Chain A
Amino acid sequence: MSDSTAGHRPGDSDLTGSGSAAGLPPDGNASDGEAGAEETGTAPHRVIGTPPPAQARTLLGTGPAADAGGDGAVAPRELPADPPDLASAKRAERVVVACFIVAMLAGFGFIAAYLIFSVHSVTNVLHSNLALGSTMAIAFLALAVGATIWVRRLMPDVELTEQRKPLRSSPEDRAAFAQTFEEGADASQFTKRPLVRRTLIAATVPVALAPIVLLRDMGPLPGKSLDRTVWRKGLRLLNYGANTPIRPSDFSSPGGMITVVPDGYQDDFDALAKAAVIIIKFGPGQIVYGTKPYPVPGAVVPNWSVNNIVAYSKICTHVGCPAALYEQTTHHILCPCHQSTFDAARGAKVIFGPATRPLPQLPMTTDAEGYLVAQSDFTEPVGPSFWERG
């Protein structure tokens, strides 16, 4: 800020004097009468600097509206017409004009880029995006810089003070409103006829409930559907992706993990969101078989594994992400979403993270052709906890 701009700032004396004149009403309609009195009645104390002799412009000019307004006299200026240093303003003007020309050229550039660059391939899109984006950004940036310099260097610097009125209405207005309200309440009979009032309130309850009831068909009730998956006795385990059945001998390297899906459901996301399974191959003696019956954590029911292959639900028991990361040296299954970690050698019991339950194990066996099949569905609900799960 240069010194010359400081001259436009109101000093202390202006501030104290401006109280009566500068009270712009917050809302023209609400305080019509008052504001009108102010505008006509008081001399404008809020003169900033020395008003230049030029006639103030007014939007309404000298048209019929101004005449209708009364005397049509124009109040002295509040804003100076020009900045104090015209030479500096001239330089600023050139910069602003240059910015706007750049914006204009960039705008044409954008249109040109749209016409020149085609899309339909990754490389083309890359070039098109660069050309369109940079011309667009340059256009906006030039407009922004130009407008900023315009405000800061071309427009004369001013600081005006507007008075606040307390937000609370005057006691008369409040009393008048209270009276209006009471008269209205009386005239409506709402207070006097309780039966009208009560039946109206009673009517709103079912009427308001109706649209909520209408939402009922947004979905079926859960029922027992979360307890079951599509797995059933004899359903083959398919290697996901290749969609081929698996013989235990095909999956023979200890430490391996593959994702399997129930035969016939490989493209059914609704089924797979619950039925996805991982099978893990262990070396002999690596699986820790518990003595207590499943599902006590830390135990694997022996006859559910086949040739040291164990099958667990892939759906994390925390919030349902696929527990997809397997570390073969530690036998840890990690869910990448919230890092619940399960020990695959010990019945997938939780060893870290927010999950509370082990990944359910799928009972497995082999069919007549020697392929891995399910013995049954999971013996407990898979996936995240829910209220009815128990």
Chain B
Amino acid sequence: MSIDRALSGTGSWLDDRFRGAKGFRTFFRKIFPDHWTFLLGEIALYTFIILLLTGTFLALWFKPSMTEIVYHGSYLKFDNMRMSEAYASTLNISFDVRGGLLIRQIHHWAADLFVAAILAHMLRIFFTGAYRKPREINWLIGIVLFTLSLLEGLFGYSLPDDLLSGAGLRITQGVLQSIPVVGTYLSFFLFGGQYPGQYIIPRMYILHVLLIPGLFMALIGAHLFIMFHQKHTQMPGKGRTSQNVVGAPMYPYFMAKTGAFFFFTFAVVSLAATFAQINPIWIYGPYNPLAISSGSQPDFYMGFLEGSLRIMPAWQWVVFGHTFAFNVFIPALLPLGLIMTGAALWPFIEQWITGDKREHHVNDRPRNSPTRTALGMGAVSFYGVLWLEGANDVLAQHLDVPLYTITRIAQVAVFAVPILAYIITKRICLGLQRKDLHLLEHGVETGVIRQLPSGEFVEDTRPLDEEARAKLARPEPLALTPGDASDPVPPPGMRRSVGRVKVRLNKVLHESVPVNGHGTDGHGAAPDGEHAPAAISAASGTADEDAPGTDDH
């Protein structure tokens, strides 16, 4: 009771000043739908908070300076060694500050988990179609956040000025320098002159601890505000429509759940930091432009760029005294550019093809949009091949395959695997659709065999319960663009060549198993698909009553 009184006292005090009762009630009653994939974005958010906390701690001791000093610290192997203050202060954090190593490792593990969570979260959004209207802007903000996270990570792990990250920085400089026309200038401005110079660490430091985190906070704030305002999407299920949100309220359920999840995230990161060593800079040694070791791999999120540099053939033009270093700037800029631009434009391309201007609040199951899922898997496998090739020397060592062979395989695979992935994913999606359709039409096999009077054996099936039906039913008619190649008189707007292309693309995009169940291939199924969901929902309506117990034997 005393808690009640204290709370109501505070509540009254605040409300007298803000007239917040109604707003806060709305906030407390906000509904959060549940699905495990909705946690991916939360992991990104919580690792970001961990990064802010641990990063602040590290900044209390870190010296972003390239001034050379002679080390006399606790790491005796390096006694009397010349190194930058940045490197020495990182050694100091690791060996002379209590908990310093732990916080350093938490910071690094959290950074890796941060980027991984963003990637996974983006894939979830893509594969479930959660980027569709009205959430396109949040999708774009997400893409900017992802790009920033790569940059933030690169700057962050370059700060200790150790040998491994120095190699990464050297590569970054070489790439920058290769960009036609402006590359040399960009490099000289960033590094304050020739590589390595005295400026790059303090410059990266201020970008890493102030500018980029500031952008992060602003964009994450916008991201969350928009999500809050537009309300969450939900996965298909019983009673879930585009007009509602089904789930548990913010207070107390989501607050407690998400608090628990924050602690889980922190626990996992601190477990990793305790038992799994990461970035042991004292093993790499201080940076030296003359030294390097094999097996130099960057943090995982940079791996695809590294692989892309490794598979590129040695192409270069010299035209009128100017060098086009295709071998460097194409692999450095093209894959990232392709993936990011493609991802940024996709919601609008899809909207243009389908003509679908409706609001979407119920997510697609990936199988129910086979072409989108297949495109996504194509992009994932493209990224995956590059990422693996980024560790080609490690692969060569462990698989006992010649290094050059791995690179040659990757040069083919980077084109072939995405195409294969596209085809295979599409077939898998259509197969899964068929399975769903079978379950919807014929129910679940019970394992009970019955003999008919005619002597025939049949297996009894049990219709799906309502929840499962709602989940499996393909939710909305897919095709929206009027007109079809077979239509003798296509509508206006569909007649010109652009229109014909659109109709074509629309067909590819909507390739699905026809819901009437008689088609065997997905091709040209869109027109049937338009009418069929009605049939399914009608069927589910009639099947409700006899849902429990049809095994009548």
Does B associate with A?
yes
Q: For the complex, what is the distance from the CA of A160 to the CA of B99, rounded to whole Å?
A: 45
Give CA–CA (A269, B230) in the complex, Å. Answer: 54
Instruction: Scan A235-260; emit 1 where CB is below 8 A from any B CB, else 0.
Output: 00000100000000000000000010
Residue B247, interface by CB 8 Å = yes
Instruction: Name A161's contact: one of B12, B31, B290 (CB within 8 Å).
Output: B31
Q: Which one of A192-200, A288-296, A369-377, A381-389 contacts B?
A: A381-389
| Binary interface encoding of chain A residues 333-347 relative to chain B, with 1 for a CB under 8 A from any of its CBs, else 0 | 000111110000000
Question: Closest A-chain residue to B309, C-beta based?
Answer: A338
User: Chain A interface: which size bin?
Assistant: 35 or more
* B378, chain A: closest CB distance, angstroms: 24
One of B140-148, B170-178, B453-461 at the interface: B170-178
Q: Taking the complex as formed, is B8 at the interface, i.e. its CB lies under 8 A from any CB of chain A? A: yes
Partner of A119, one of B95, B271, B291: B95
Contacting residue for A162 out of B30, B177, B194, CB 8 A: B30
A322 contacts B291, C-beta separation under 8 Å: yes
A144-B263, A158-B253, A319-B171 given as contacts; is B292 within 8 A of A324 (CB)?
yes
Q: Is the CB of A387 within 8 A of B314?
A: no
Q: How far is the CA of A36 from the CA of B290 in the complex (A)?
A: 72
CB <8 Å contact, B191 and A336: no
Contact across chains for A336 and B177 when beta carbons are under 8 A apart: no
A29-B23, A60-B21 are contacts. A318–B292 as well, Cβ < 8 Å? Answer: no
CB within 8 Å of A: which B235-278 residues: 239, 242-249, 252-253, 256-257, 259-264, 266-267, 270-271, 273-275
Q: Does A368 contact B (CB under 8 A)?
A: no
Which of chain B's residues have a CB closer than 8 A to the CB of A321?
167, 170-171, 174, 292
Set of chain B residues within 8 Å of A164, measured between Cβ atoms: 231, 242-245, 361
Do A159 and B246 touch (CB < 8 A)? Answer: yes
**B297-322 with Cβ < 8 A to chain A:** 306, 309-316, 318, 321-322
Chain A residues with Cβ below 8 Å from B246 are 159-162
Query: What CA separation (Å) do A389 and B257 show in the bound complex?
Result: 59
A352 within 8 A of partner (CB): yes
Q: Is the pair B322, A390 in contact by a Cβ cutoff of 8 Å?
A: yes
Chain A residues with CB under 8 A of B310: 338-339, 353-354
A208 located at the interface, meaning its Cβ lies under 8 Å from any Cβ of chain B in the complex: no
B35 close to A (CB within 8 Å): no
Known contacts A320-B173, A384-B325, A387-B180: A155-B30 contact under CB 8 Å: no
Does the CB pair A148–B274 fall under 8 Å? no
For B189, what are the chain A residues with a Cβ–Cβ distance below 8 Å? 215, 218-219
Interface segment, one of A130-138, A173-181, A298-306, A359-367: A130-138
Chain B binding surface, main DSSP class: helix
B193 beta carbon closer than 8 Å to chain A: yes
Interface status of B2 (Cβ within 8 A of chain A):
no
For A226, give its contact among B194, B288, B309 (CB under 8 Å). B194
**B61 on the interface (CB 8 Å rule)?**
no
Whether the pair A140, B270 counts as a contact (CB closer than 8 A) is yes
Chain B residues positioned under 8 Å from A151 (CB to CB): 253, 256-257, 260
Name the B residues within 8 Å of A49 (CB-CB).
none
CB within 8 Å of B: which A116-132 residues: 117-122, 125, 128-130, 132
Contact for B12 among A26, A64, A114, CB less than 8 A: A64
Provide the bound-state CA to CA distance between A13 and B155, in Å.
56
Contact in complex: A63, B9 (CB < 8 Å): yes
Most buried by A among B245, B314, B322: B314
A316 closest partner in B (C-beta): B174
A225 adjacent to chain B (CB < 8 Å):
yes
Q: Does B491 contact A (CB under 8 A)?
A: no
Given contacts A57-B4, A140-B263, A339-B310, contact A386 B183 (CB under 8 A): yes
A58–B251 alpha-carbon span in the complex (Å):
13
Q: Which residues of A contact B21 (CB under 8 A)?
A: 59-60, 65, 69
Report the separation of the CA atoms of residues A118 and B97 in the bound assembly, to the nearest whole angstrom.
Answer: 9
B contacts with A, residue count (CB < 8 A)? 124
One of A12, A24, A119, A276 near B290 (C-beta < 8 A)? A276
Q: Does B188 contact A (CB under 8 A)?
A: yes
Task: Tell me which of B5, B291, B403 contacts A61 (CB under 8 A).
Answer: B5
Report A137-172 CB contacts with B as 1/0, cut-off 8 Å. Answer: 100110111111011000100111111101100000
Q: Is the C-beta of A261 less than 8 angstroms from some C-beta in chain B?
A: yes
Cβ contact of A167, chosen from B97, B175, B325, B359, cutoff 8 A: B359
Q: Mark A253-294, 1 if CB is under 8 A from B, else 0.
A: 000000101000001011011101000000000000000000
Query: With contacts defined as CB atoms under 8 Å apart, how many contacts are there between chain A and chain B in the complex?
Result: 341
Q: Mark A89-123, 1 if CB is under 8 A from B, else 0.
A: 00000000000000000000000001001111110
Q: Give complex CA distance A322, B361 in Å.
A: 53
* B404 in contact (CB, < 8 A): yes
Across the interface, do B231 and A384 meet the contact criterion of CB distance under 8 Å?
no
A377 CB to closest chain B CB (Å) equals 15
Query: Does residue A309 face the partner (Cβ distance < 8 Å to B)?
Result: no
Residue of B nearest to A353 (CB): B314
Q: Within 8 Å CB of B313, what residues of A?
A: 354
In the complex, the answer to whether B393 meets A336 with C-beta atoms within 8 Å is yes
Query: When the two chains form their complex, are residues A155 and B252 in contact, meaning their CB atoms are under 8 A apart?
Result: yes
Residue interface mask B158-195, A partner, CB < 8 A = 1 = 00000000010011011101111111110111111111
Q: Is B289 an interface residue (CB 8 A)?
A: yes
Nearest opposing residue in chain A for B392, CB measure:
A339
In the complex, how many angstroms separate the beta carbon of A123 from the nearest chain B beta carbon?
11
Type the 1/0 row for A46-76, where 1 means its CB is closer than 8 Å to any CB of B: 0000000000011111111100010000000
Contact partner of A64 (CB less than 8 A), chosen from B16, B271, B331, is B16
Does B292 lie within 8 Å of A385, measured CB to CB? no
B433 at the interface (CB under 8 A from A): no
From A120, A222, A385, contact of B185 by CB (8 A):
A222
A356 touches B267 (CB 8 A): no
Nearest Cβ on chain A to B553's Cβ, whole angstroms: 26
Min CB distance, A301 to chain B, in Å?
A: 21
Residues of A near B262 (CB, < 8 A) are: 144
Question: Is the pair B229, A60 in contact by a Cβ cutoff of 8 Å?
Answer: no
Q: Write 14 A-B pairs (CB below 8 A) sorted by A numbering.
A: A63-B8, A130-B274, A147-B257, A167-B230, A215-B189, A219-B191, A221-B188, A272-B289, A273-B195, A314-B290, A337-B171, A353-B314, A354-B312, A388-B184
List 13 additional A-B contacts (Cβ < 8 Å) besides A26-B231, A322-B290.
Answer: A60-B8, A118-B98, A137-B267, A147-B263, A150-B260, A161-B239, A167-B134, A225-B194, A226-B184, A321-B292, A354-B314, A356-B325, A389-B318
- Chain A to chain B: the 10 pairs with minimum beta-carbon distance, closest first: A133-B274, A319-B174, A61-B8, A28-B23, A147-B260, A144-B263, A140-B267, A385-B325, A63-B12, A356-B316
